[in-house]
Amino acid sequence: MLRVAIQHEFLSVDPEGRVSGHDAGDTLVRRLLRLFPGAQLVGDRTHRYPDFDLVPLELLDAESTLLINMDVIDSVPAWRVMRGATAKPKIMNFVWWDATRYDESVEMAELALSCALFPTFANSERTIRAIADSVRRWTVKPLAERAKIGGVNLGIRLEHVQPRSEPATPVVLYPAIYVSPRKQPNLFIDVVSRVVKRTPLLVEARLSEAHLVSEPAMRLSRERWAKVGPLMPSRSDYWKALAKTTAFLATADEESYGLEYIEALVSGAIGVFPNKDWARAILPEGYPYLYQTPAQAEELLYKVVTQTEACRRELDAAAGGDFIGWLRDHHNDDNFESAIAEHVTRWFGPVETANLQ
C-alpha cells in the first residue's frame, strides 16, 4: 500500500509541530494529513513531529510513496529527484489555486506541461475546465490526449461553524488575507468608504504579515471605522470572529473556488459579490447580491448592513427555503475527501485513508 507525501512550498509549521498557516494552502495540507494517516510533509530538513514527519524530497522512499505536489510547476524537477531512486516516480498535481494566475508564457506552458505529464486533481469544476483548456492550448496533441484531470469543489469543515453572535454595529469583512492587485482592495475601500458615510459600520481586515505594510492596508488602517490587523492566532478564533461578521464585499477579478467566502457565508455573513463566473459558480441560481458596477456594490452593501434580517430571508428564498442548508449540501468537505481518495486510488493504487463514513 502506498504512503503519501505532501509538498507545499510555503508550508508553515510551528515549534509544536502544527501546520499553523491560515491561507488555503495550509488549510488543505491539514485536510490531507487527516485524510491520509501517516502522510509525510516535504521540507528542507528531517524532523519528526507528533503527527507527521518532515522529510527532504531526496530522502523519500520513492518506490512506495505517492507525492501530492501543491507546487505544480515543480513536478518535473521533483520527478527527476525521485527518478534517482525508482524507475517510475508517482506524482499527483494538486491545483488548489486559480489556474489563470500566470501571465508569463513560460509559466503558462510549464503549468500545462506538468498537468499533461502527471495526473492532476483540481479544487473546483472551474479549475478543471481551465486546466484542460491550458493543456490543449500549450501542449502537443499526444500529451493532451493522455492527460488525467479530475477534481471537485473543496468545501469546508462544517463542524467548525460557531453559533451566531450579532454585533451591535454591523461588521463588514475584507474577505481575504492578501491585498494583491487581483483582489482589487482599493475597490473594496472605495465602496465601503461611501457606505460608511450613510450608515455606521466597522470594517475588519485580517491580513498576512507581509501584506500589513502594503499601500492598501495602510490606506485602510487610517480610517477610524476600520480595524486592520494580523491573522487570528488560531482557527477557533477565526471562526468565532466570522460568527460576529455581518457582511463582506468581494472584489476579486478571479477566484478558483473561494474558500474564505464560503466559510463566511456558512457562518451567517451576507456576501456582496461581483457578477462574475467564479462567484456564480459557488452560489445558488438567483443569488440576489451580485453587482456589475461600484455604484451597484455600494447600494447592495448598504442594503445588507441596514436590512440584514430581510436580506437573509431573501437568501433563503433564492436557495429554495434554506440558504445555509444549501451551502452545507453543496460545500461539504466530505465530498472533497471522498473525491480525492477515489482519484488517488484510481490513478495510483491503494492508499490508506481515514474512515470517510
Q: What is the grid cell recorded at 339?
A: 473525491
CB atoms within 10 A of CB 29: 26
For 109, phi then psi, to 5°, come to -70, -40
Spatial CB neighbours of 199, under 8 Å, sequence gap ≥ 6: 170, 302, 305, 306
- What per-residue confidence (pLDDT) applies to 147? 96
Q: 30 near 91, Cβ under 8 Å?
A: no
pLDDT on residue 344? 96
State the Cα torsion 356-36-123-329 to the nearest 10°: 20
Burial label, 209 (beta-carbon count in 10 A; 0-12, 13-18, 19+): exposed
The pTM of this model reads: 0.83
**CB contact at 8 A, 58 and 24:** no
Alpha-carbon dihedral sign for residues 121, 126, 130, 136: positive
DSSP character at residue 36:
S
Predicted confidence pLDDT, tens digits, the chain (357 residues): 899 999 998 888 888 888 877 778 888 999 999 999 999 999 989 999 988 999 999 999 999 999 999 999 999 999 999 999 999 999 999 999 888 788 889 999 999 999 999 999 999 888 999 999 999 999 999 999 999 999 998 888 888 899 999 999 999 999 999 999 999 999 999 999 999 999 999 999 999 888 999 999 999 999 999 999 998 888 889 999 999 999 999 999 989 888 899 999 999 999 999 999 999 999 999 999 999 999 999 999 999 999 999 999 999 999 999 999 999 999 988 888 899 999 999 999 998 887 654
Collapse the DSSP code of 149 into the 3-class scheme (helix H, G, I; strand E, B; otherwise coil) and give the result: strand
pLDDT of the residue at 356:
56
Q: What angle do CA 224, 227, 230 make, to 5 degrees?
A: 150
Length in residues, the chain: 357
| Domains recognised in the chain with CATH numbers | 3-155+333-348 (no CATH), 158-330 (3.40.50.2000)
Spatial CB neighbours of 213, under 8 Å, sequence gap ≥ 6: none
Nearest to 257 by CA among 180, 156, 325, 337: 156
The CA radius of gyration of the chain, in Å to the nearest whole number, is 21
Question: Cα–Cα–Cα angle for 88, 90, 95, nearest 5°?
Answer: 145
Q: Is 213 helix (H, G, I), strand (E, B) or coil?
A: coil
